[in-house]
Structure 1
Amino acid sequence: MSNHARAERHRLAELLAAAGPQAPTLCSGWTTGDLAAHLVLRERRPDAAAGIRVKPLAGWTARVQEQYAERPYEELLRLFRTGPPVLSPFALPGADEAANVVEYFVHAEDVRRAGEWQPLTVPEGLAETLWRRLPMLARLEAGAKTPVRLVLQHPDGRTVTVARRSADTVRIIGEPGELMLFAYGRGANAVLQVEGPPEAVAALRGRLPIGPID
């Protein structure tokens, strides 16, 4: 059985180690040190991780993350490479693969694409996993923001309709990894093809970054 989360954890750890603790990322306002602290908090402090999604708890999450960020960078990377402790929800059978494939893929690209970067060739199995996860996550992430009917299209023609908010349709075409990055607000650093009426594309661009456009 493939374990894409394990492979992406390793790739992300290697990118973080190569970048050092002060490198920029695509996570607004975060250095690589901040990102490493977030990753460790997420699987080692479930009491604080809730604030990642629940706004009333965000202040507590930020304080705990700051405490982690004060630790030596090498220690954070060691903890991340080690994986979740026994009592972490992420240590349950299957939880790592279910919860972390997209998380680690996106954050690995947050590090890799923060400077000069080349297009990424994603292994076929991982690409298909990202495509299968895309409908739910794109509707959750991009669906709340798009002002237009939004269709995400795989190069082989398969589509995911994210929202139906107007008669105008914008179609975003790209590899599954690029579409996932777009859904998570990283479209300015993704390889995408965009089709639709200029006014609809402009409205979408005002809510979700797009580019570069082929």
Structure 2
Amino acid sequence: MSIARRERAALVDTMRAAGPDAATLCEGWTTRDLAAHLVVRERRLDAAPGILIPKLAGYTARVQERLTASTDWPALLAQVEDGPPLYSPFILLDPLVNVAEMFIHHEDVRRAGPSWEPRVLDEDTTASLAKQVSSFARMTLSKTPARVSLATPQGKVLATAGKGSPVTVIGEPGELLLFAAGREPARVTFQGAADAVDAVRGAHRGL
């Protein structure tokens, strides 16, 4: 089983245990909303572009809302668990783009609760997440008011983006990915001038 498929299965297990009305780190979304988002992303080619293109976001939101209201919880989870259908471009891209997607959304559910700790990840998963950090940083940190370097505790720089005073964000690859995706509970530390660090902390991140 691929890393993306393992993360998908783990996400579904966690959502099933949490129930359809549990909170997530995605503002305003319950686990039901998150499941519907994943279904739209992989199965509704007409609506999926609005996830990234603001001009199309209204239509995507309406499709997702209808799906949330009209599909029962077990059916939503089954569609997430099954993964992309044969007609979806994600059927080929799944090993490349869904490792980060499933990991981040799994943590969206896990870390919305009152008590959580980072998971202990195997080496293959950690290496796969590390490969995703650079592309996420280019998308989410390019306008950050500092020159941000994302580095592991061992000193390996996985990505650099933004302009200004240098700030280094240190954490395990999964935590750096969560930071780049705008998830505040990421377990990271900062090095740099205090005003630059404050600017990075306060800057918008995420897609």
Q: Judge same fold: TM > 0.5, yes or no.
A: yes
Q: What is residue 174 of structure 1 aligned with on the other side?
A: 171
How far, CA to CA, are the matches of 1:208 and 1:57 in structure 2?
Answer: 21
**CA offset digits 1:66-94 (Å, max 9, x no partner):** 111011011100111112211111123xx
CA contact (8 A) 2:100 2:129 kept: yes
Q: How does 1:186-197 map to 2 (within 5 A)?
A: 186=183, 188-197=184-193
Query: 1:161/1:77 Cα in 2 relative to 1: closer, same or farther (>3 Å)?
Result: closer
Work out the percentage of aligned pairs sharing the same amino acid.
48
**CA offset digits 1:114-160 (Å, max 9, x no partner):** 0121122111111111111211211112223x110101111221103
Amino acid of the residue matched to residue 72 of structure 2? P
Q: Does 1:99 align with 2:120?
A: no
Describe the SS at the equivalent of 2:47.
Answer: helix
CA contact (8 A) 1:154 1:173 kept: yes
Q: Structure 1: which 5+ residue stretches go unaligned?
A: 210-214
Amino acid of the residue matched to residue 182 of structure 2? G
CA contact (8 A) 1:170 1:201 kept: yes
Q: What is residue 7 of structure 1 aligned with on the other side?
A: 6
Moved more, 104-113 or 80-89: 80-89
Q: Structure 2: which 5+ residue stretches go unaligned?
A: none
- Once the two structures are TM-superposed, the CA of residue 105 in structure 1 deviates from its matched residue by 0.3
Q: What is residue 33 of structure 2 aligned with on the other side?
A: 34
- Once the two structures are TM-superposed, the CA of residue 171 in structure 1 deviates from its matched residue by 0.6
Moved more, 132-141 or 106-115: 132-141
Describe the SS at the equivalent of 2:160.
Answer: strand
Q: What is residue 63 of structure 1 aligned with on the other side?
A: 62
Residue from 150, 155, 158 that aligns with 1:157: 155
Describe the SS at the equivalent of 1:59.
Answer: helix
Q: TM-score, normalised by structure 2?
A: 0.94
Q: TM-score, normalised by structure 1?
A: 0.91
